[in-house]
């Protein structure tokens, strides 16, 4: 195999964010841009010669071209085997599973997740390590340094690989395997959940489900598992064909973007269960007839009921949530006497805790939950968890949620996102918040008295690495909390996220409207951060 070395010069904007490098497709299409980043990944790795690399993506625009380039670069850099999802497709959790199952050295996952796709939209790339999880910060920091000094990259002069045919191909010392994207994942799910029970409940009409794949990667996975294996009616999974531009939509499973599902679930005679997943299949939204389950509640309910699921029947070792996620799961952990960890935003921070078996379940407010079965969050897994739970409890989603609130109280929650904010203004908001921190404790607005105000810093309990500046927290003496942080996944300007929660334990007040319940805290948030004043906007772009 001939390989060619190309000279290149660094791009200065290749710093990985919360989940890899995300940029507009046009940025990735600049000469050498993708190649620089991929070569910098390889330059940050050691001892991978002859080893296996997993490759797959969410199928968005530029996925196929990028995969062909990466195949040639991996070949030139000396990998011994490439395992690639058919058509270049692998959901993020499926890629994590393949890395673990076939004991690969690592994997490259091509995805910009919930961001829109198409020639003028977003593309993304990230590296996952041998435990199947996103590379830790230590690695992404080293990778970024490499992108700043790169001077050449290597390409093997081989033909494009036919990605559509499952099979094996040998080119000199390199083996390329194109595998069925769904099979291994479906097998894993069947080991975790009681498929027979779910199947019976669907057949008996106890569960009548709709799944919105949002024209993204979970389409084929959900079709095969929910309709094929579990017997849901044909058409239960809709928007099931992955499209390069997600049909022009925003593949983010929340009520703002999954309109079609939301309409179905809030109609008269709504199905009993509704769910959606995102661009790369790691997020989930859970709904019942006329009810939406917040992701923070979903995590808490899963933790409280884990023993109902075969894989967790013997109990769980602990739980973790990202810092902005509501404290609902903390209450369950306290009641069950389980360790509970608070990590920075992003799945990479759960990896060590899972590997060390300090936790079994974890989740984020951003519609992500998962367990020790892989090292990514997993949308369809969460859906199957709920289906298994409903089948076991023989209760509606609404009843499960209400019963949980009765027992633990309710953490009323919402997130406000201000997108594409001018970078200087956004940084000014964060500086303004920082400057107030020391003066806030003791300050009151109505019933809300500030108990603590700080900037979250995390020390990993396994390797003691420290991640500072992970968001600003303002906690009140009544348990309410406001968190501010800038997104690390956007591609235009800055996105300010404001997370608001209030704890309600009065059982006569559990059903209040969250907008009304949180209105006062929303006002306090504005007094603190001045986002409306400083941007001239009147409301957030997205409320979830």
Positions marked catalytic: 113
Q: Which residue minimizes CB distance to Co ion?
A: 113
397-402-405 Cα angle (round to 5): 130
Which parts of 494-513 interact with ligand VG1 (CB under 6 A)?
Answer: 497
140 binds ligand VG1 (CB under 6 A): no
Q: Please tell me the distance from the alpha carbon of residue 61 to that of residue 118, in angstroms, as a whole number.
A: 5
Shortest CB 92 distance to Co ion, Å: 6
Kindly state the smallest distance separating residue 282's Cβ from Co ion, in Å: 4
Structure tokens at 371: 């367990």
Closest to ligand VG1 by CB, 225 vs 483, is 483
Q: Are 228 and 220 in contact (CB under 8 A)?
A: no
Name the minimum Å distance from CB 478 to ligand VG1: 26
Please list every residue from 204 through 243 that binds ligand VG1, using CB under 6 A: none
Binding-site member from 345, 352, 371, 544 for ligand VG1 (CB under 6 A): 345
CA 330 distance to own-chain centroid: 20
Q: Which of 81, 122, 278, 376 binds Co ion (CB under 5 A)?
A: 278
Contacts for 516 with CB less than 8 Å, ≥ 6 apart: none
Give which of ligand VG1, Co ion, none residue 346 binds (C-beta under 5 to 8 Å, depending on kind): ligand VG1
Check binding of 540 to ligand VG1 (CB under 6 A). Answer: no
Binding status of residue 35 toward ligand VG1 by CB under 6 A:
no
CB of residue 279 to Co ion, shortest distance in Å: 6
- Binding of ligand VG1 by 282 (CB under 6 A): yes
When CB distances are held under 5 to 8 angstroms depending on the partner's kind, the choice from Co ion, ligand VG1, none that residue 370 binds is none
Q: Show the beta-strand stretches assigned E in 75-121.
A: 81-89, 106-110
Give the DSSP letter string of 353-374.
Answer: HHHTTS-SEEEETTTEEEETTS
Question: Maximum CA pair distance of the chain?
Answer: 73
How many chain residues touch ligand VG1 (CB under 6 A)? 18
364 binds Co ion (CB under 5 A): no
Q: Is the distance from CB of 383 to CB of 282 less than 8 angstroms? A: no
Residue 400 Cα to chain centre, angstroms: 24
Q: DSSP state, 268?
A: T
Q: Is 121 in the site for ligand VG1 (CB under 6 A)?
A: no
Cβ atoms of 37 and 153 within 8 Å: the answer is no
- Residue 469's region, left for phi above 0, alpha for psi from -120 to 50, else beta, is left
Interface residue with ligand VG1, options 35, 212, 227, 278 (CB under 6 A): 278
Which of 23, 114, 215, 257 is in the footprint of ligand VG1 by CB under 6 A? 114
Minimum CB–partner distance for residue 186 and Co ion (Å): 20
Tell which one of 277, 343, 487, 544 touches ligand VG1 (CB under 6 A). Answer: 487
410-421/494-504 β-pairing: antiparallel
Helix boundaries (H) for 216-374: 218-222, 259-265, 295-305, 328-336, 351-355
Residue among 194, 282, 297, 378 that touches Co ion (CB under 5 A): 282
The pair phi, psi for residue 53, each rounded to 5°, is -120, 130
- Residues 191-210, one symbol each (x = binds ligand VG1 by CB under 6 A, - = not), give --------------------
Site string for Co ion, 104-143 (x = CB under 5 A): ---------x------------------------------
Closest to 86 in 3D by CA, of 163, 183, 33, 187: 163
- Which stretches of the chain bind ligand VG1, using CB under 6 A? 18-19, 113-114, 278, 282-283, 322, 345-347, 364, 366, 368, 487-489, 497
- Which stretches of the chain bind Co ion, using CB under 5 A? 113, 278, 280, 282-283
């Amino acid at each position: 195999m001939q390989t060619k070395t190309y000279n290149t010069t660094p791009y200065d904007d290749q710093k990985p964010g919360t989940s890899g490098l995300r940029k507009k497709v046009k940025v990735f299409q600049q000469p050498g841009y993708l190649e620089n980043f991929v070569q910098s990944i390889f330059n940050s790795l050691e001892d991978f010669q002859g080893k296996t690399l997993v490759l797959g993506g969410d199928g968005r625009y530029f996925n196929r071209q990028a995969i062909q380039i990466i195949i040639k670069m991996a070949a030139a850099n000396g990998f011994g085997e490439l395992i690639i999802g058919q058509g270049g497709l692998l959901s993020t959790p499926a890629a994590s599973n393949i890395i673990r199952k076939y004991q690969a050295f690592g994997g490259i996952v091509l995805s910009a997740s919930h961001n829109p796709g198409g020639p003028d939209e977003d593309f993304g790339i990230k590296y996952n390590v041998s435990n199947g999880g996103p590379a830790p910060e230590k690695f992404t920091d080293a990778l970024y340094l490499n992108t700043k000094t790169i001077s050449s990259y290597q390409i093997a002069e081989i033909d494009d690989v036919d990605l559509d045919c499952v099979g094996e191909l040998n080119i000199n010392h390199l083996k390329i395997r194109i595998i069925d994207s769904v099979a291994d994942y479906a097998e894993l799910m069947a080991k975790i959940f009681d498929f027979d029970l779910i199947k019976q409940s669907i057949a008996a009409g106890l569960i009548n489900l709709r799944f919105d794949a949002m024209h993204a990667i979970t389409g084929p996975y959900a079709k095969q598992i929910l309709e094929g294996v579990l017997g849901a009616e044909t058409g239960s999974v809709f928007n099931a064909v992955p499209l390069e531009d997600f049909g022009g939509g925003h593949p983010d499973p929340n009520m703002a973007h999954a309109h079609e599902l939301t309409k179905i679930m809030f109609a008269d005679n709504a199905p009993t269960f509704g769910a959606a997943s995102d661009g790369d299949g790691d997020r989930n939204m859970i709904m019942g007839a006329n009810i939406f389950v917040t992701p923070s509640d979903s995590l808490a309910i899963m933790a409280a009921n884990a023993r109902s699921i075969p894989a967790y029947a013997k109990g769980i070792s602990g739980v973790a949530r990202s810092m902005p996620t509501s404290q609902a799961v903390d209450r369950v952990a306290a009641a069950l006497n389980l360790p509970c960890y608070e990590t920075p935003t992003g799945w990479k921070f759960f990896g060590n805790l899972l590997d060390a078996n300090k936790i079994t379940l974890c989740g984020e407010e951003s519609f992500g939950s998962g367990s020790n079965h892989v090292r990514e969050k997993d949308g369809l897994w969460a859906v199957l968890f709920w289906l298994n739970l409903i089948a076991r409890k023989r209760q509606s989603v609404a009843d499960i949620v209400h019963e949980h609130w009765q027992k633990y109280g309710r953490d009323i929650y919402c997130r406000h996102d201000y997108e594409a904010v001018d970078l200087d203004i956004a940084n000014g908001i964060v500086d303004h918040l920082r400057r107030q921190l020391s003066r806030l404790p003791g300050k009151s607005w109505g019933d809300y008295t500030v108990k603590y105000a700080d900037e979250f810093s995390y020390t990993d309990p396994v390797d003691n690495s420290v991640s500072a500046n992970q968001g600003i927290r303002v906690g009140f003496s009544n348990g309410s909390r406001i968190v501010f942080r800038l997104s690390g996944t956007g591609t235009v300007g800055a996105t300010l996220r404001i997370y608001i929660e209030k704890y309600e334990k009065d059982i006569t007040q559990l059903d209040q409207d969250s907008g009304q319940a949180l209105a006062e805290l929303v006002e306090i948030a504005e007094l603190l951060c001045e986002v409306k004043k400083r941007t001239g906007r009147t409301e957030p772009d997205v409320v979830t």
